[in-house]
Amino acid sequence: MTASTTGDDATTGRPVVPNLEAILGREYPVLDHGFIRVVDYMGDDAAVVQAARVSYGAGTRRVREDRGLIRYLMRHRHTTPFEMCSIKFHVKLPIFVARQWIRHRTASVNEYSARYSVLDREFYLPAPEDLAVQSKSNAQGREESVLPDVADEIRRLLEQDARQAYSRYEWLLNEQPDGSPADPDRPGLARELARINLPLSTYTQWYWKVNLHNLLHFLQLRADPHAQTEIRVYAEAMLGIVRRWVPVVAEAFEDYRLGAAELSGPMQAVVRAWLAGEPVDREASGLGIREWRELHALVGRELPDT
C-alpha cells in the first residue's frame, strides 16, 4: 500500500508496510549482547505479485488471488519475483557467528572495522544449557548438555580468557577513550595489529542488505533446527520480522520450505512401494543408511530391525 511518511509532512509514492514501519530502528535483543534491527526496506507482498505479472498498479486482482500466486511461485521455485523486495538490517553479533553468516555471499555487507575503530569490551558467553558435548555422529553438531558444575567451570574459563585478551588489546593500543595515550612514554600498536589476538567471541557489527529471495534462502538454512544455536536465534528473530513485512510470502515460505521436505527419486520410489503395501529392502532401494533413517523419521515409520 502507498502511504504518507512521518516527518515534515513528507509523502512517498513507494509501498509502505505499517507493521514494519512500526519497528524501524527498534533493536531486538539476541544472545547476551547482540541485536538485530531493520534500517530500511523496499517492496511488500504486492511487489512480488507485480513482478510476477509484469504489471504496474494494483489492478483488479483480489487478495485471495494474489496469495494463490505467491504460493504458486514459492511452491514451484520461481524465485525472481522475490528478488524485487529488499531489506537492510543492522546486526550486532559475535565474530564466530559472523564468519558463518558471511558464507551467504548474495548480500551487501559493511562491517565495523577494527582497523579504524576500537572494539567494545563485549564477548559472547554461552548460557549453561547451551554448553554441550561434541556429537559422535555429526562433526558439526552437539549432543547432551554438560553437567552443571562443568558448565560453570567452562563459562569461568571462557570469560577469564576473553577479559585477559581484551586487557592485552587495550595495552597494545595504549589508547584512552578520547584517543590520547594511556602511557605517554609508549607508542600504541596499530589498531589493525592490536586486534589480532582477540577471541572469536568478541562482538562485531555490520549492515547487511539482502533481497527477499536470498534472505529466505538464509532463513531456510539458519532457522533450521540443525543450524548452530547461536546463528539460529538471529534467523528466528529475522523470520519474525519477515512475517511483519511480507506476511503472505512468509506463510508460503513456512509451508513450502521450513515445513516441507524434499524427497530424492529413490526415496519417492520407497514411499510408493509402502503405499502399495509392498516390502522394501534398504540395499535394493539404493538408499544409504543415513538417508534410509531420515526417510523413516520423516514419515514417522519405525525402522525395521537390522
The catalytic residue among 195, 222, 232, 257 is 222
Nearest to 202 by CA among 114, 143, 266: 114
What is the DSSP annotation of 159-172?
HHHHHHHHHHHHHH
Q: Is 62 a catalytic residue?
A: no
| Residue 33 near residue 124 (C-beta atoms within 8 A) | yes
Instruction: Name the strands in the sheet holding 28-30, side by side, starting at the edge strand that comes first in the sequence.
Output: 28-30, 34-42, 86-94, 203-211, 108-111
**Cβ neighbours of 155 (radius 10 Å):** 15
Q: Which residues pair with 123 in a beta bridge?
A: 202
Calculate ∠ Cα 26-30-35, nearest 5°. Answer: 40
**Burial class of residue 171 in the structure, from the number of CB atoms within 10 Å of its CB (0-12 exposed, 13-18 middle, 19+ buried):** middle
Q: Which of 175, 166, 174, 154 is nearest to 197 (CA)?
A: 166
C-alpha cell at 125: 558467553
Q: Nearest-CA neighbor of 147 among 161, 126, 135, 133?
A: 133
141, 232 contact by CB (below 8 A): no
Active site positions, annotated: 222
